Amino acid sequence: MAVSWDYYFQFYTNQIFGRFFYVQPLEILVIIFAFIGLLFLIGIMRALYRNYKKSNAIETLLFLISMIAFLVGGVLGGIERFCYSTWGLPQLGDLIRITVIFPVYFSFISVNIFALKTTFPEKFKIILPFLLILTIVSAGTVIWAELQGPPYARIINFAVAYSLEINLIRLITLSPLAVIPTTLFFYYAIKNRIEDKPKSNLSFWLGMGFLFFTVGSALTSAGTEFFGLLFILSAAIFYVCFKMPGWFKKCIGWPE
């Protein structure tokens, strides 16, 4: 990506006047949220791995893979931010930014497959091609914008911002990928409320976890305090759903 002059102006100004010149007032809170979220994420992956060893269920493996991909994307995203803001290596940041796209979108599609396989597996072959097309179009658009640089993608406040048309394509293609898991779990919870109340309750809480994650992602970008709080709520719900402690089983009426 071609870097505009205002990036270097901001970067060297910050170097002269100190880091305080551009740090957000609540940055320390963001770091705390990120650390707590990371602990929950590690707990989720451990619980999923144990569940997979017991059941060998492909659905559990899919969600485990999606969490690993999300963790890899988060770590690379943090390194990318340092390349832009602290190290003054925007070209390396661009390369990492493009690399991050693959685990992040892989996580998106894996979560959607998990939701379909868990709730309505008979619809899987019908909906999967649609999801793959959306993923390819969205990821391809972002990669193209990254390679083109301004005006389609540029660094603003040490983060990549996209033009209106790129954001519009991302909104159209990412919205279904974000909404489908939440919708499927809530619909499954309603449909099976009478026939299988424990699974209905579990599906409801999985839907709540996806809802908090989706709303947080829509309202803000990763790295802000609002997203961090919602991500922690989402991660806590997922951890409880997959860990299935005794008190939670009792609350949802899950049989031993």
Q: What is the pLDDT of residues 39-75, one digit of tens each?
A: 888 999 999 999 999 888 888 898 899 889 988 888 8
Domain borders along the chain are 5-252
Any residues with CB less than 8 A from the CB of 3 and at least 6 apart, and which? 90, 91, 149, 155
| Strand-pair partners of 156 | 159
Segment holding 156, helix H or strand E: strand 153-156
pLDDT of 5 strictly over 80: no
Split at pLDDT 50, 70, 90, the class of 223 is very low
Angle formed at CA 10 by CA 8 and CA 14, multiple of 5 degrees: 115
pLDDT of 29 strictly over 70: no
Task: Copy the structure tokens of residue 176.
Answer: 């279904």
Give me the count of residues in the chain. Answer: 256
Angle formed at CA 153 by CA 152 and CA 158, multiple of 5 degrees: 155
Which of 225, 93, 95, 72 has its CA nearest to residue 158?
Answer: 93
**22 three-class SS:** coil
Predicted local confidence at residue 22, as pLDDT: 45
pLDDT of 191 strictly over 70: yes
Helix axes 27-55, 225-243, angle to 10 degrees: 20
Task: Copy the structure tokens of residue 242.
Answer: 């997959």
pLDDT tens digit sequence for 140-153: 999 999 888 888 98
| Strand-pair partners of 26 | none
pTM for this one?
0.83
pLDDT tens digit sequence for 94-151: 899 899 899 989 988 999 999 998 888 888 889 999 999 999 999 999 999 988 888 8
Predicted local confidence at residue 206, as pLDDT: 93
CATH code for the structural domain at 5-252: 1.20.1070
> What mean pLDDT is reported for the chain?
83
Split at pLDDT 50, 70, 90, the class of 27 is low
Q: Mean pLDDT, to the nearest integer, of 155-173?
A: 86
Q: Mean pLDDT, to the nearest integer, of 195-220?
A: 85
Considering only residues 10 and 156, tell me which one the structure prediction assigns the higher pLDDT: 156
